[in-house]
């Protein structure tokens, strides 16, 4: 806007200079000098007036963006009431923590595609449920629907048989516990962060701090529970902040606890502490875990696998692990290679080719494969394309190729004893790398 005014002033002054030059060179009889002076005076003031008008028009245009934003916010539908007097749940609800999803459809906007489509399943009470899936499959949307951050377009969610859409938001959310991926702490003290409503005694607070391995850290400060916490917990590490959120959730003693990728951004040691504490202290809770790491949900009672907003699988992790997904994605690389070996042995061929079969597996699986091949292929001709030298040292013969030609062909023992052989050099190079 400032640059626009500079350019307008420059153009005006240029035109004004040209007009003055013309007025000076005109004959005196062609124009009255007093009128010429009046025109010059009005011309100078017109420049200032024009710049002021343009400046204000630009300001109005910029400020209209704020008006548009306010208008957009005013058109956003309000959330449901916090409390519905004629439909309040029992004070002890939920007593069991069973969650039923019935034909659940969720859509963020009528113009946007449906995120969750026809989700129907039951989370049994006091069980640990793992929810997994690729990015964008609807895991976080499922949790938002449970807390009614977004309302379902179709279907129902029942907790202990009560339709959560019929009760107030405060009555619902105050009964659910959550540990988010990004730990949230507030400026104040450790006590105010763990018990903001001052509903628990110091003994209860210290008890959960001990369970979450935070008691010793808090005791390092003489102020104990009055230890200061900076805005967003900046004076605490990410792992410690997440443990504080876990302690806060345990202190509330909710029947339903949601872990929304709570261990995604913490170190392995803190992850182990959290997993152990959750296993020991939530035996009477329904725990829903949005998984980022597979080890996080392997000890769950049930695993819900979402794919493009629909249920792909829902069963115990043990049963699901025995089922083979597309490309064997639910099996490790080593396990997949062992399955391929088992398939080859089952066919009982006279000739078996191993094309660098152990190149991308761990050493332990490599040893298992080598032992199995030695024991089960005594009546087969086995051709091994080698990636690791130990893979072929117990072969009867070794063929060494160099630029498409045979460089050497003999037993590995003879080739290794010949210090000038190419095979011996490969063995020595492998030994140097291993050291």
pLDDT digit of tens for each residue in the chain (435 aa)?
677 777 777 777 787 778 778 777 777 777 777 777 777 777 777 777 777 887 888 888 888 999 999 998 888 888 888 888 888 898 889 989 999 999 999 999 888 999 999 999 999 999 999 998 888 888 989 999 999 999 999 999 999 999 999 999 999 999 999 988 888 888 889 899 888 888 888 899 999 899 888 888 888 888 888 888 888 888 888 888 889 899 998 998 899 999 888 777 777 788 888 888 888 888 889 999 988 667 778 788 999 989 889 998 898 888 877 766 677 776 778 888 888 888 888 888 899 998 888 777 877 888 888 888 888 888 889 998 887 777 787 888 999 888 888 988 988 888 888 878 888 888 888 777 766
Joined together, the tokens standing for residue 277 give 């504490």
When the candidates are 1.10.287.70, 1.10.3730.10, 3.30.2420.10, 3.40.50.300, the CATH number that belongs to 85-326 is 3.40.50.300
How large is the angle between the packed helices 202-211 and 238-252, nearest 10 degrees? Answer: 130
Task: Quote the CA–CA distance of 59 and 133 in Å, as a whole number.
Answer: 49
- CA 70, distance to chain mean position in Å, is 31
Where are the chain's structural domains? 2-74, 85-326, 333-434
Encoded tokens for 133: 């899936």
Q: What's the pLDDT tens digit per position in 118-161? A: 999 999 999 999 998 888 888 989 999 999 999 999 999 999 99
> Do residues 162 and 176 make contact, with C-beta atoms less than 8 angstroms apart?
no
For residues 429 and 388, the answer to whether their CB atoms sit within 8 Å is: no
How far, in Å, CA of 89 to CA of 172, rounded?
Answer: 9
What is the pLDDT, as a whole number, of residue 85? Answer: 86
For 165-221, what is each residue's pLDDT tens digit? 999 999 999 999 998 888 888 888 989 988 888 888 889 999 989 988 888 888 888
Query: What pLDDT does residue 302 have?
Result: 93
**How many distinct helices (H) and strands (E) make up the chain?**
14, 16
Q: Give me the residue label for tokens 């080593």.
A: 334
Residue corresponding to tokens 């876990």? 246
Q: Please give the distance of CA 105 from its chain centroid, rounded to a whole number.
A: 22
What pLDDT was estimated at residue 324? 67
DSSP state, residue 350: S
Q: Does domain 333-434 have CATH number 3.40.50.300?
A: yes
Inter-residue contact 350 to 380 (CB < 8 Å): yes
Considering only CA atoms, which of 339, 328, 388, 385 is closest in space to residue 363? 388
Domain 85-326 and domain 333-434 have a common topology: yes
In this structure, the number of other CB atoms found within 10 A of the CB of residue 239 comes to 19
DSSP one-letter code for 325: -
């Amino acid at each position: 806007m400032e640059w626009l005014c500079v350019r307008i002033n420059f153009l005006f002054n240029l035109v004004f200079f040209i007009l003055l030059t013309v007025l000076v060179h005109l004959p005196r009889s062609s124009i009255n000098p007093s009128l010429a002076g009046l025109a010059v005076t009005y011309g100078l003031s017109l420049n200032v007036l024009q710049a002021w008008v343009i400046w204000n028009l630009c300001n109005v245009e910029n400020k209209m963006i704020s008006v548009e934003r306010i208008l957009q916010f005013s058109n956003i539908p309000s959330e449901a009431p916090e409390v519905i007097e004629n439909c309040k749940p029992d004070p002890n609800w939920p007593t069991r923590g069973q969650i039923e999803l019935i034909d659940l459809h969720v859509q963020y906007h009528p113009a946007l595609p449906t995120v969750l489509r026809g989700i129907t399943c039951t989370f049994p009470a006091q069980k640990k449920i793992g929810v997994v899936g690729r990015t964008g499959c609807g895991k976080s949307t499922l949790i938002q629907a449970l807390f009614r951050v977004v309302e379902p377009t179709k279907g129902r969610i029942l907790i202990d048989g009560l339709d959560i859409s019929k009760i107030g938001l405060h009555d619902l959310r105050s009964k659910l516990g959550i540990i988010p991926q990004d730990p949230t702490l507030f400026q104040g003290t450790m006590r105010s962060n763990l018990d903001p409503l001052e509903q628990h005694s110091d003994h209860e607070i210290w008890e959960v701090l001990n369970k979450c391995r935070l008691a010793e850290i808090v005791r390092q400060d003489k102020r104990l529970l009055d230890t200061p916490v900076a805005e967003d917990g900046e004076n605490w590490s990410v792992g410690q902040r997440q443990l504080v959120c876990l302690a806060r959730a345990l202190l509330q003693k909710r029947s339903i606890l949601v872990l929304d990728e709570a261990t995604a951004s913490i170190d392995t040691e803190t992850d182990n502490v959290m997993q152990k504490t959750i296993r020991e202290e939530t035996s009477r809770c329904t725990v829903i875990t949005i998984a980022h790491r597979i080890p996080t949900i392997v000890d769950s009672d049930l695993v819900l696998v979402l794919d493009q907003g629909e249920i792909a699988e829902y069963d115990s992790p043990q049963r699901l692990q025995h089922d083979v997904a597309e490309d064997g994605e639910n099996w490790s690389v080593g396990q997949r290679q062992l399955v391929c070996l088992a398939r080859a042995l089952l066919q009982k061929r006279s000739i078996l080719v191993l094309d660098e079969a152990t190149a991308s597996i761990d050493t332990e699986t490599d040893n298992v494969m080598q032992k199995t091949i030695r024991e089960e292929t005594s009546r087969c001709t086995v051709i091994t394309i080698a990636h690791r030298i130990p893979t072929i040292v117990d072969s009867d013969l070794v063929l060494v190729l160099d630029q498409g030609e045979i460089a050497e062909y003999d037993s590995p023992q003879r080739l290794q004893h010949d210090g000038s052989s190419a095979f011996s050099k490969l063995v020595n190079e492998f030994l140097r790398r291993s050291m």
